[in-house]
Structure 1
Amino acid sequence: MMFSSCGSRKSMVYLQQDSSQITTLYEQYVPKIQINDILTIVVTAADPKVTAPFNPVSSMTTGSFTQQTDMALRPTYTVNDQGDITLPMLGKFHVAGLTRTQAIEKLRTELSKYIKDPGVNINYNNFRISVLGEVSRPGSFILPSERVTVLEALGMAGDMTLRGVRKNVMLIREVEGKKTIHYLDLTEQSTLNSPYYYLVQNDVVYVEPNKAQINSSKLGANTNIIVSIASLLITVISVLTR
């Protein structure tokens, strides 16, 4: 019982204490804008009139649905296959490979040619992650912020079930059009230093089932066959022994 208990704890508890020093900084792994990202861009200035040419649709500021309407009418731009977006007045503007902060600074510099002290706000409109497998609520989640960790993603999905393997969590990531697969051991603190601890847009987290769950699913799939064979044998034996 003692060894069983120790083994169970080692396979179930997240981020168990070890000698690892946590050195990871989010700034090292900030997501970068990718092809097909949808960006919401709003330009502001002291005089709202000068920003009108750069904001193709103005938000409404009256009525009982101000906030909802404002969010719905903010202009969005899709990053094309060349990594560009097309902005009013400015034309093509390359953003792929930049962080959100870098894109803001680049656009502010360009707008300064037309507007004094412009303000720029850029947000992802489709920053999506998916969590699948042995979690309570598998699914895809669109996030308001690009700062999210694998543990936070699991929390959105209701955490792993007791049948999920914490030592071998799969992360599927697309880099420059190519899928890459990485594995995380969430029982070790050293995972906090992994370059895959922070997620980027379109990441897929998959939690595999443990052996007990796999075996039980096999049993479940074969139950009808076993019951049918057993019933047949009982019937034959009953007839022969009369």
Structure 2
Amino acid sequence: MKNSRIWGMWLISFLILTACKPKQNMVYMSNHNFEQEVSQARYQGLHIQDGDVLEIIVSALDDIAVRPFNRTTMSQTGRADANASSNGSQRLGDNQYQVTAEGNINFPVIGNVYCKGMTKQQLKDDLEQRLKPYLTDPMVTVTLSNFNVSIIGDVKSPGQKTSPTERLNVFQALALAGDLSDSANRTNVKLIRYSDQEQRDITYTLDLSEASVVNSPYYYLQQNDILYVEPDRNKQIAANTTNPNRSLLIQLTGFVIGLTTFIIALAK
């Protein structure tokens, strides 16, 4: 009887301890050689994609000569026509150009300029070379106006977010979504990125509990990336009411509690 009572108490203690087990991996980058990993982080820059909206401003010593190359100095009618998007459904701001599905922008005087896959610096250099027959020492400024990423799953404010900066890492992106929820799985964050080379979306996995994440080639995001944060297993089980294993777990828990009660009663 004494042994039965002891075993019953051990079983109850085990159930209590396992039920109160703390959630692991709550701290970002808790596993690290931090100094080494941060020193290896590299920002590779972004590449222009179709659908991007670019703001392009041309300047030169001769203010009059530069006017035809800036939409802000065109006639009102000309500017309105130029600012219509290729499908007519979206109007762009002054000096903005939307990259077509073919990868071009229609630049004043010059015409179509292929820029898909270029960096901003490469497009700047290309336009300055094209403008030299018309202008003396032309200077071009290129800015991406619609750096959007989508953040979904177990975050506090999911949705499509517009970044104020083009140098956006995964932690900055999550900050735009209000950070992860306490129940989020920090070890299995999915990054979905379209590959022009393979012509399809590719999914990568990021473990935010590892400091080596800052060394990942996917640490810095590209425009139109999607971050999916899955909930931890406890939340998945709680939310999935159609999971047949859930009812089995409840039945087993009830059986264990009943058996424990019976053993304690016998021991008295």
Q: TM-score, normalised on structure 1?
A: 0.77
Describe the superposition over 1:179-208 as per-residue Cα deviations: whole angstroms up to 9, x where unpaired. 110010000011111010000010000100
Instruction: Work out whether 1:180 is the aligned partner of 2:202.
Output: yes
4+ runs deviating over 4 angstroms: 1-7, 219-222
Instruction: Work out whether 1:109 is the aligned partner of 2:129.
Output: yes
Q: Which amino acid aligns with 1:163?
A: S
C-alpha change, 1:7 and 1:196, in structure 2 (3 Å) is farther
Report the CA distance between 1:46 and its aligned residue.
2.6
Match of 1:50 in 2: 65
Match of 2:235 in 1: 213
Report the CA distance between 1:219 and its aligned residue.
4.9
Match of 2:177 in 1: 157
Describe the superposition over 1:79-117 as per-residue Cα deviations: whole angstroms up to 9, x where unpaired. 123221111111111111111112112111221221112
SS at match of 1:206: strand
Match of 1:36 in 2: 51
Structure 2: gaps (5+ residues): 1-15, 75-91, 245-268
CA contact (8 A) 1:173 1:203 kept: yes
C-alpha change, 1:12 and 1:179, in structure 2 (3 Å) is same
Report the CA distance between 1:218 and its aligned residue.
2.9
CA contact (8 A) 2:237 2:243 kept: no
Match of 2:33 in 1: 19
The match for 2:161 among 141, 156, 159 is 141
CA distance in 1, matches of 2:216, 2:17: 32
Match of 2:113 in 1: 93
CA distance in 1, matches of 2:53, 2:30: 38
Q: TM-score, normalised on structure 2?
A: 0.70
C-alpha change, 1:144 and 1:51, in structure 2 (3 Å) is farther
Match of 2:216 in 1: 194
Measured on the aligned residues, the alpha-carbon RMSD in Å equals 2.6
SS at match of 2:166: coil
CA contact (8 A) 1:167 1:184 kept: yes
CA contact (8 A) 1:58 1:73 kept: no
In percent, how many aligned pairs have the same letter? 35
CA distance in 1, matches of 2:65, 2:19: 70
